[in-house]
Amino acid sequence: EKGAFDHYMRKEIDEQPTAIAQAVRGRADGDEVAFESLSPGAFADVERVHFVACGTSYHAALYGAQLLRDRGVPARAYLASEYAVTAPPTEDGTVLVGVTQSGETADTLAALRRGAAEGLGTLAVTNVVGSTAARECDDTVLIRAGPEIGVAATKTFSSQVATLGLLAERIAREVGGSGSTPAGLPAALDDVPDAVETILADSSASALATRYDDSDAYFFIGRGTGHPVALEGALKLKEISYEHAEGFPAGELKHGPLALVTPSTPVFAICTGQHTEKLVGSIEEVSARGAPVVAVAPRSERDVAAVADDVLWVPETHPELVGVLANVQLQLLSYHTATLLDRPVDKPRNLAKSVTVE
């Protein structure tokens, strides 16, 4: 039931503090990570991690792959529909992780089956107990977000990233990965539910949606973990508002997309607190073409705020978790834009919650 909310999507955005807390509960003790379903040493022989997923879950997978690489573990995310037709050569020591909220997405199941047929170990990261992915994979880690009804995935993205953050820590620890990542992600996850609550209680996303709702197009840029968040911000906006939206890695702007930037195309710049100087450069590139810039950033990022026209603030957190908070602001932006344009938020045209055909 959506209760006091107009839409399931709005309700599910609001449920994120609980969803994230559930994803993390009982799984981290300091920086030690344990999953109820995985025995100690489950990843001891892993040499690399391949993720397969679609849509929003693919963006979570891109995020997760980066968290692994930051810890010195080779990892890559593939679009499941592409992996099913052009999988890389099989190498021993590869674990194939399917990230799928429903556990029923045909493209993701096909990619997992292809990997299994080649002899890879498979792991499902899913929200649905007993789903096809959970039943078919060698192992399963549940994201524990609770049921998601709105077609637009919201709380499950946050729960997926939280879970993949823990998984990255666990795999890196077992394979002895050594990266330069700042310590403390598992412990920092404990504070993310409160940080999301802070955003939900006081976001200027609604005012910004009103300011920009007659734009020609919307662009989202980010670097590092800000890149999958930029892709996700654009996907959410296009699917529920029907407005043209694109996400780019910030550095790619000058290799083509900059040709589309005008005073009628607001640019949302996701600032994670890493690679800030380069992001400021990208913001200056689009500002010089007259585009309004909205930074999504922690308050400490004064350099970004100084070059942006507006800021959607996020609370301070571990640098690798800023993207989760930034994404909540972008969910609110999409939601408010879609309601201003009177779109059927929970059931966008042409889309289904679970895509069971390839």
* Contact with ligand F6R (CB under 6 A) among 22, 105, 203, 327: 105
Residue 209: closest CA among 63, 333, 87, 299? 333
Nearer to ligand F6R, 151 or 304 (CB): 151
Residue 155 designated active-site: no
Burial of 74 (0-12, 13-18, 19+ CB in 10 A): middle
Nearer to ligand F6R, 80 or 95 (CB): 80
108 binds ligand F6R (CB under 6 A): yes
Cβ 329 to ligand F6R shortest distance, Å:
16
Per-position DSSP letters for 81-93, written without gaps between them: HHHTTSPPPP-TT
Per-position DSSP letters for 210-279, written without gaps between them: HHHTT-S-EEEEESTTHHHHHHHHHHHHHHHH---EEEEEGGGGGGTGGGG--TTS-EEEE--SSSHHHH
79 binds ligand F6R (CB under 6 A): no
Nearer to ligand F6R, 53 or 87 (CB): 53
94 binds ligand F6R (CB under 6 A): no
189 Cβ neighbours under 8 A, 6+ residues apart: 20, 24, 28, 162, 165, 166, 318, 321
Instruction: Return d(Cα 91, Cα 343) in angstroms, integer.
Output: 46
Cβ 243 to ligand F6R shortest distance, Å:
15
Nearer to ligand F6R, 341 or 355 (CB): 355
Instruction: Return d(Cα 249, Cα 94) in angstroms, integer.
Output: 27
158 binds ligand F6R (CB under 6 A): no
Backbone Cα Rg of the chain: 19
Cβ 56 to ligand F6R shortest distance, Å:
3
Nearest residue by C-beta to ligand F6R?
55
Cβ 229 to ligand F6R shortest distance, Å:
14
239 binds ligand F6R (CB under 6 A): yes
Instruction: Return d(Cα 143, Cα 157) in angstroms, integer.
Output: 9
Strands 32-33, 28-29: pairing is antiparallel
57 binds ligand F6R (CB under 6 A): yes
Question: For residue 276, how many other CB atoms are within 10 A of its CB?
Answer: 17
* Contact with ligand F6R (CB under 6 A) among 9, 96, 153, 267: 153
Cβ 133 to ligand F6R shortest distance, Å:
8
221 binds ligand F6R (CB under 6 A): no
Burial of 165 (0-12, 13-18, 19+ CB in 10 A): buried
Residue corresponding to tokens 């021993």: 92
Instruction: Return d(Cα 69, Cα 172) in angstroms, integer.
Output: 9
* Contact with ligand F6R (CB under 6 A) among 16, 100, 159, 327: 100
265 binds ligand F6R (CB under 6 A): no
Cβ 152 to ligand F6R shortest distance, Å:
4
Nearer to ligand F6R, 9 or 68 (CB): 9
Nearer to ligand F6R, 235 or 333 (CB): 235
Residues that bind ligand F6R (CB under 6 A): 54-57, 100-102, 105, 108, 152-153, 235, 239, 354-355
